[in-house]
Amino acid sequence: MLQPLKHVTKRRSLFSSFLIHINNLSSFSSSSSSSSSHNCHTVLRKINQNDFASSVKDWFNTRDPLITRIFQILSSTDSSSDAALDASLAALTLPRLDESFVLTVLHHGTAAAHVYPCLRFFDWAGRQPGFHHTRGTFSAIFRILARNRSMSTIIEFLRTFRRRGPAFYLRARFNDTLVIGYAIAGKPEIALQLFGKMRFNGLDLDTFGYHVLLNALVEKSYFYAVDDIVRQIRMKGFENRYTNALVMKSLCKQGRLDEAEGFLFSLVDGGKKLHGSEVSVLVRALCGSNRFDHAVKLVREFGDSGLVPLDHAYGVWIRGLVQGGRLDEALEFFKQKKEDKGYIPGLARYNVLIYRLLREDRLDEVYDLFMDMYETAVPPNTVTMNAVLCFFCKKGMVDDALDLFKSRSEFMLSPNHMAYKYLILTLCWDGNAKEAFSVLKSSIDHRFIPDRRTFTRLANVLCRECMIDEMKELLHLALEWKIMPIASTYDNFITALCRAGRVEDSYLNRGDIAARLLVEMKEKGHKVTPALCRVVLCCLLQMDNSRSRFSSLFEMLSHNDRQHYIYDCFIDAAGHAKQAELAWKVFELMQRNGIQPTSSSLSLMLKAYLKSGRTTDALVFFNNVWSRGLATKKLYNCFVIFLCKSKNPEPAYEFFLKMLEDGLNPSIECYEILVQELCSSERYHEAVNLVDKYEKKGRRITSFLGNILLYQSMFSPEVYNACVRLRGVKEEGKTDWSMLSFVVGAFRRHHRVSHVEDLEKLIAKCFPLDIYTYNLLLRKAWKTDKEQACQLFERMCQRGFEPNQWIYSTMVDGFKRHGMRDKAERWFQESKRIFSNRETRMLI
């Protein structure tokens, strides 16, 4: 039972003092500089956390101790058999076993989300002499299972119930219970069939059964049957407040919100007594439709009238605001109602606000709500306890969080996914890999699977601590969870294996073994990724009898698979291995098997030819695809880029123009690579023409394109001449293109710019400066003024650019050119320390 308020208040001073201490430290942390964060954490760890944690435990210990003990026994492995359970429960002083007591126990289990213990208790109660389950106890267990999405368990439960028949369940209205059970299980179609059989045999549901069935029909959108059931309810005189609420719910679920509002006001005009649930249904629907202003107007209108108790509607409004991302409004409304009209919010409303505040790291406000609950003697449930666990984790109170987790059986605490995640991450941050792994295994036992971030963080900590066996187990579990570790995780694991002297475990490059694992992965339902397939196949193709192995693996992986995905993986892998013939065989086989190649398939086949150095075959393949009208933007981009990379600018330029003629807009990379290759071939007019076309598409010139023109202008006057000829712009022109032409001319010394800083500003108006642009500017500055060059270097660093090895090389070369060999040597030593750059050594 709940402890009296005076006992709760008596402990408040201890609880409050420690939370206030923590709260003040949190405020200090947020206002301090980043350098003080470690000091704040140190202070937090010095707090007497045992007293603080015990205060929280006192708050949690507000449940009936008998109920808590019952669930400890139900959850214990020592009572796994029926006989052991009977003996353990018989040792307790239990009240008389009746419907009321069973419902009380099941209610506590519902609040704590203890599904399996509730099922065990339900089974135990049914085996006790003199007790027979009622329709009420059956409905309770059905709701517990439905709330936890254990639908398969409910269905099996109901099948067993039907097989045993009414003679076995003396006090349960057998047919009613079946209808209610299937309705709660989300199977209203079966419930309707059973209801029809009941009516045929002269039986009927009571008020409760009709309304459970009606709610199930509304939930599953069986609106054709809703009206019929509502008519029967009214005809039989079963109409009550739940009928009106469900009619409202049906209208709202159909999106007929205006009709729902009209129905609500018709109830008011007709003198019907409302109980608040009718308003709550409409408020929830309005919030879900993002009509918050109308919802608040409705709440205020009914609130001012005083005709309807709105406690529940207020709670729905708060939840709606939170879910709609209007947390501050929800908090303001929450505080206002408590102050103005003595509104006492339910536990669920506190939990909704607390969880959203936790997600946004607003820990001070979380603390305020905890204190508010404590002062008003609101008993926490398992959701609140999970929130406190998350709060400890976010505050960095690792020991308290772990202690609360280990004491979870005392409070019937069942950690949720969020609590498990925060606790694992906090333990990893604290360097406690052993406990983090233990918590992970506990989460798996309770069917909570970690996300990729949690997995990666834990894997890195295990590798750092050289916990090899745990890491192996984690990787095996990842395969079961279908979590693909990132490359760095594998790298860290292999490094850890080597550090632990277990090098033989890291020898994983056997192609034949890898191929068998790949087949096994697919058979078990795991997706074979292109990257993994590529690594395995490239390894296979380096072995003896490689083509036969390739074909065998393909047959095993593509067996009974009508999707293009596996074919694409093999085409891609063959292309990376520069085996265009193998790629073509797979491509042909795809078509023979009636699988239409996608744009991705065509691109991979084209890349396979190009990577294998078979440019002529690539041209024939592309022309064939183009003639069939299948040449996509992706295919064009791929072809042009690869032609450029293989030093074939002439066909690349022709296909680029063809792409434009076909109305396709080339990618930025396509423009950049082609302009670079044209400039390398001294075809400056075509290169400048391409930049002009790019700008006409409404795109701003990229750093890459601008840098190419500036760099080339340092070696050839034709770049500037091409710019001027293209536009016919005079040197003193004021257009954007003339500005770029002016900058290009300045680099070629057609225009004199006294300060490099002015040139820097001009370039910024043409395209964004990057580290390569600054390198070009430094090279130009060193030719005229070493002071300007040094000032430019400082400005570059102040703007957040980190000097690379080429910047250091330019600076060393500049100092050397100006006879400052000592300074050049110092800069060289600095670059050597950072980069160990051999090219810089050659400059001295």
CA distance 710 to 702: 12
Looking at 152-166, 631-645, 705-719, which range is the least confident one? 152-166
Q: How far is residue 607 CA from its own chain's centroid?
A: 33
Alpha-carbon Rg for the chain, nearest whole angstrom, is: 37
Q: 360 in a domain, yes or no?
A: no
Nearest to 260 by CA among 298, 222, 304: 298
Nearest to 413 by CA among 144, 678, 114: 114
Q: 577 in a domain, yes or no?
A: yes
The confidence score (pLDDT) of residue 824 equals 84
Is it the case that residue 252 has pLDDT exceeding 60? Answer: yes
Is it the case that residue 841 has pLDDT exceeding 50? Answer: no
Nearest to 590 by CA among 601, 606, 577, 574: 601
User: Per-residue pLDDT averaged across 351-357, rounded?
Assistant: 88
What token pair was written down for 693?
A: 């076309």
Q: 520 in a domain, yes or no?
A: yes
| 738 Cβ contact partners less than 8 Å away, ≥ 6 residues apart | 727, 729, 730, 731
Burial of 146 (0-12, 13-18, 19+ CB in 10 A): middle
Q: How far is residue 210 CA from its own chain's centroid?
A: 41
Residue 702 is given by DSSP the state P
Q: 642 in a domain, yes or no?
A: no
Q: What is the band of 15 on the pLDDT scale with cuts at 50, 70, 90?
A: very low
Sign, CA torsion 291/296/297/301:
positive
21: containing domain: 5-58
The confidence score (pLDDT) of residue 111 equals 59
Q: 544 in a domain, yes or no?
A: yes
Q: What is the band of 494 on the pLDDT scale with cuts at 50, 70, 90?
A: low
Q: What is the CATH number of the domain that holds 601?
A: 1.25.40
- Of 627, 660, 677, the residue at which a domain comes to its end is 627
Q: 604 in a domain, yes or no?
A: yes
For residue range 144-178, what is the model confidence (pLDDT) as tens digits? 777 665 566 667 767 776 666 554 444 446 778 78
Q: 601 in a domain, yes or no?
A: yes
Counting the structural domains of the chain, the total is 2
Q: 466 in a domain, yes or no?
A: no
More confident residue, 493 or 454: 454
CA distance 202 to 198: 6
The confidence score (pLDDT) of residue 180 equals 82
Q: Hunting for tokens 């400005």 — which residue is that?
A: 795
Query: How many C-beta atoms surround the C-beta of residue 840 within 10 A?
Result: 24
Q: Is 147 helix (H, G, I), strand (E, B) or coil?
A: helix
CA distance 801 to 769: 10
| 640 Cβ contact partners less than 8 Å away, ≥ 6 residues apart | 652, 655, 656, 659, 666, 670, 673, 674
The confidence score (pLDDT) of residue 838 equals 41
The confidence score (pLDDT) of residue 437 equals 92
For residue range 641-656, what is the model confidence (pLDDT) as tens digits? 888 888 888 888 888 9
For residue range 579-615, what is the model confidence (pLDDT) as tens digits? 888 888 888 888 887 888 888 888 888 888 888 888 8
- Of 569, 602, 627, the residue at which a domain comes to its end is 627
Is it the case that residue 687 has pLDDT exceeding 60? Answer: yes
Q: Is 400 left (phi over 0), alpha (psi -120 to 50) or beta?
A: alpha
User: Per-residue pLDDT averaged across 617-638, rounded?
Assistant: 85
- Of 592, 627, 662, the residue at which a domain comes to its end is 627
Q: How far is residue 442 CA from its own chain's centroid?
A: 22
What token pair was written down for 781?
A: 């500055």
Degrees, nearest 5: CA angle 692-693-697: 115
pTM confidence score: 0.50
What token pair was written down for 377?
A: 């003697």
Is it the case that residue 560 has pLDDT exceeding 80? Answer: no
